[in-house]
Amino acid sequence: MSEEIDFKTLPDEELLEQMGDDLYDGLSDEVVKATEEALSRGFSPHRILGDGLIAGMEIVGEDFRDGILFVPEVMMAANAMKAAMELLRPLLTKTNAPRVGTMVIGTVKGDIHDIGKNLVAMMMEGAGFQVVNLGINTPAEKFLQAVREHGADILGMSAMLTTTMPYMQVVIRKLKEEGMRDDVIVMVGGAPLNEAFAQEIRADAYAKDAGTAVQTAKKLMLQRKEV
């Protein structure tokens, strides 16, 4: 049992560190309380994410890789992260920006990781995009159907496994087969990807994180309008 900590008494940096530690331990209530405290101190959601939640999740990832943590513990950490993200959601999605375009986004078939993809979705909304979030384990047909139905400007795909990233190419091929490839910008992301992979599968863009995804999407939308 971890002893009760009064978050209000912690200096700023220690608060974020404690948030990361509690995330590692999968203590959802504690992570939520620390996030509330950080928000009440006026921390930006980006600082809370970067220095608290994502920092904690990085250590989870390392220890998962090294066999120190296992799936149940990682699930608990993921649930704690999701609970905190719900507090950040209104701040990340709030927007005064004019409607920029529509993005369909999903985690590809075979892959159930959704934290990073949801973060991208929230920040895109905050930047003025209408976002259609298809969730996890998304087959090519579902991506294509959503692109058609919503007249999407951008199709975003996320993959976190080296075994699922090749599925992105399946979706791109399907777009081509259906004569839809030139109608939509394809953006890809996820921890195992890089620029070279995006080029290899002929995606239009790769973004390494949610902030870059927003910048890249805006730039590509502008280029599209200029053509």
Q: Which residues bind ligand B1M (CB under 6 A)?
A: 54, 57, 60-61, 64-65, 71, 74-75, 78, 105, 110-117, 119-120, 156-158, 160-162, 187-192, 207, 209-210, 213
Minimum CB distance to ligand B1M, residue 8 (Å):
27
Distances in Å between the Cα of 151 and the Cα atoms of 102, 144, 184, 185 are 7, 10, 9, 12
- In the complex, the smallest distance separating the C-beta of residue 216 from ligand B1M, rounded to whole angstroms, is 8
Reduced to 3 states (helix: H, G, I; strand: E, B; else coil), residue 45 is helix
Nearer to ligand B1M, 40 or 192 (CB): 192
Nearest approach, Cβ of residue 143 and ligand B1M (Å): 11
Contact (Cβ atoms closer than 8 angstroms) between residue 111 and residue 159: yes
| C-beta closer to ligand B1M: residue 34 or 52 | 52
Give least dist CB 12 to ligand B1M, A.
22
Single out the residue of 122, 107, 223, 104 nearest to residue 165, CA to CA.
Answer: 107
Residue placing its CB nearer to ligand B1M in the complex, 57 or 127? 57
Residues 41, 203: Cα–Cα separation, whole Å = 41
The pair of structure tokens assigned to 137 is 């384990």
